[in-house]
A and B are shown apart, each in its own frame.
Chain A
Amino acid sequence: MAPAIEMSRGAVRLGGRTIWSDVDVSVGEGEFVAILGPNGAGKSTLLNVLLGLTELAGGSASVLGGPVGAHNEQIGYLPQRRVFDSATRVRGVDLVRLGLDGRRWGVPLPLPARFSASSRAARHRVWQAIGQVGAEAYADRPIGECSGGEQQRLLIAQALVRGPRMLILDEPLDGLDLPNQAAVAALVQRICRAEGVTVLLVAHDVNPLLPYLDRVLYLAGGRAAMGTPEQVIRSETLSELYGAPIEVLHTSDGRLAVVGQPEAPHQHGPRHVLP
Chain B
Amino acid sequence: MTPHLTVDLFSDVEQLLAYRFMVNALEAASVVAVMAAVVGWFMVLRRETFAGHTLSMMSFPGAAAAALAGLPLAAGYFAFCGAGAVMIAGAAQGGGAARQAERSAVIGAVGAGSLALGYLLLSLYGGVLESLESLLFGSILGVTSGEVEMLALVAVAVLAFLAVAGRPLFFASVDGPLARASRVPVRALSVAFLLVLGLAVAATVQITGVLLVFALLVAPAGIARELTSRIGVSLLLSVVVGLLIAWVGLGLSYFTNYSPGFFATTAAMVLFTLARAARSLPERRGRREAPVPEASL
Contact = CB atoms under 8 A, between A and B. Distances in A.
B166 interface: yes
Interface stretch (B9-17, B180-188, B211-219, B253-261): B180-188
Contacts of A149: 290, 293
Contacts of A72: 183
B294 interface: yes
Give the interface centre of B162, B163, B168, B178 by most chain A CB atoms within 10 Å. Answer: B178
Range class of the A interface residue count: 35 or more
Interface in B153-172: 162-168, 170-171
B229 to A, nearest CB: 4
> Interface residue tally of chain B, by bracket?
20 to 34
Which 4 A-B pairs have CB atoms at the shortest separation, nearest pair first? A102-B171, A179-B295, A79-B177, A107-B166
B2 interface: no
A150 B234 CA distance: 24
Contacts, number: 96
21 contacts: A53-B181, A72-B183, A88-B174, A90-B229, A95-B174, A98-B174, A98-B175, A98-B178, A102-B167, A102-B171, A102-B182, A106-B163, A107-B166, A107-B167, A137-B291, A141-B229, A178-B297, A179-B293, A179-B295, A180-B295, A183-B295
B225 interface: yes
A108 interface: yes
Contact of B177 (A82, A101, A146, A180): A82
A186 interface: yes
Given A89-B229, A102-B184, A182-B297, 17 more contacts: A53-B181, A77-B182, A79-B178, A82-B175, A82-B177, A88-B174, A90-B174, A103-B182, A104-B168, A105-B164, A105-B167, A105-B168, A106-B164, A107-B163, A107-B167, A110-B232, A183-B295
B275 to A, nearest CB: 12
A55 to B, nearest CB: 15
Interface string A153-192: 0000010000000000000000000111011001000000
Contact of A106 (B166, B179, B292): B166
B280 interface: no
B230 A91 contact: yes
Contacts of B120: none
Interface string B278-297: 00000000000011111111
A95 B184 contact: no
Nearest to A141: B229
Interface in B180-199: 181-184
Contact of B181 (A51, A90, A101, A180): A51
Interface of B: 162-168, 170-171, 174-175, 177-179, 181-184, 225, 229-232, 234, 290-297
Interface in A47-94: 51, 53, 72, 77-80, 82, 84, 88-91, 94
A168 B177 CA distance: 14
Interface centre among A84, A89, A99, A186 (most CB of B within 10 A): A89
Nearest to A179: B295
Contacts of A178: 297
A30 B115 CA distance: 62
A174 B183 CA distance: 25
Contacts of A82: 175, 177-178
A101 B182 CA distance: 10
A142 interface: yes
